[in-house]
A and B are shown apart, each in its own frame.
Chain A
Amino acid sequence: MKYTALCKFDLGSDGRDEAVSELLQLFPFGEKTRHLLAGALEVREQVGATVVHRGIALPHCRSILVDQLSIAVGRSADGIGWPEEKVHTVILFISPVKPNGPEEHAAFLSHIAGRIKEHGDEFASAGSAERLFELLDFQPAKQED
Chain B
Amino acid sequence: MDKQLEKLISLHDLDVMIADLNRKEIRDKEADMGLKTEGALEELTELREAYCKSISRKWRGLYSQLTRHYGNAVVPALMGRCTGCLTRLPTAVCSDPERNSRVHTCPTCGRIIYWAD
Contact = CB atoms under 8 A, between A and B. Distances in A.
Interface of A: 29-33, 36, 39-40, 43-44, 46-53, 58, 61-65, 67, 97, 102, 105-106, 109-110, 112-113, 116
Given A48-B36, A58-B33, A109-B33, A102 B13 contact: no
Interface string B76-117: 101000000000000000000000100000000000000011
B29 A109 contact: yes
Given A63-B16, A64-B13, A43 B26 contact: no
Contacts of A61: 13, 16-17
A66 B109 CA distance: 22
Contacts of B29: 106, 109-110, 113
Most buried by B among A64, A102, A110, A113: A64
B16 A97 contact: yes
B12 A105 contact: no
Determine the interface band of chain B, counting residues with CB < 8 A from chain A: 20 to 34
B117 A102 contact: no
- The secondary structure that dominates the B interface is helix
B10 A36 contact: yes
B43 interface: yes
A33 B43 contact: no
Interface string B27-68: 001101111110110011001000000000000000000000
A31 B100 CA distance: 13
Nearest to B40: A47
Most buried by B among A43, A47, A109: A47
Contact of A43 (B14, B25, B37, B100): B14
Contacts of B16: 61-64, 97
B116 A30 contact: yes
A105 B20 contact: yes
A33 B44 contact: no
B26 A46 contact: no
